[in-house]
Structure 1
Amino acid sequence: MEKLGFIGVGMMGKPMAKNLLKAGYELTVLDLNSAAVDELVSQGAVRAE
């Protein structure tokens, strides 16, 4: 499984990040909006520190 990082999961980034998760990538996400990050973490992403 490939590991990717995604910075910015707002209007454009969130759908792209969701597609990467569905495709099986291990995804680490970062955004100023913690709610957007929380949503992706609940779908399998890892929160960046």
Structure 2
Amino acid sequence: MEAKPRVGFIGLGVMGKPMARRLLEAGYPLTVWNRTRSKMESLISAGAKGASSPKEVAENSDIVITMVTDSPDVE
């Protein structure tokens, strides 16, 4: 069986958190980051790795998904 790619998720708001949770439930190794750390806690408790920065997410992921409010947040 081929290993699943490591997924990074940036932005755990109304849309991002449920999407990240589904990836975790599907067995993907998941690293998460959000500006508000408390939004990461339930995913970390469920098995995700919490990152200290978006850079750390990228360094630990094969695929990075961003779910942020607008363009300045991406930049």
The letter of the residue matching 1:24 is G
Instruction: Report deviation, 1:2.
Output: 2.1
2:11 and 2:17 map into 1 onto residues whose CA distance is 8
Larger CA Rg, structure 1 vs 2: 2
Structure 1 runs (4+) greater than 4 angstroms displaced? none
After TM superposition, the score normalised by the length of structure 1 is 0.91
After TM superposition, the score normalised by the length of structure 2 is 0.62
Work out the number of aligned pairs and report it.
Answer: 49
The residue aligned with 2:35 is 32
Q: Which runs of 5+ in 2 are unaligned?
A: 53-75
Q: Which runs of 5+ in 1 are unaligned?
A: none
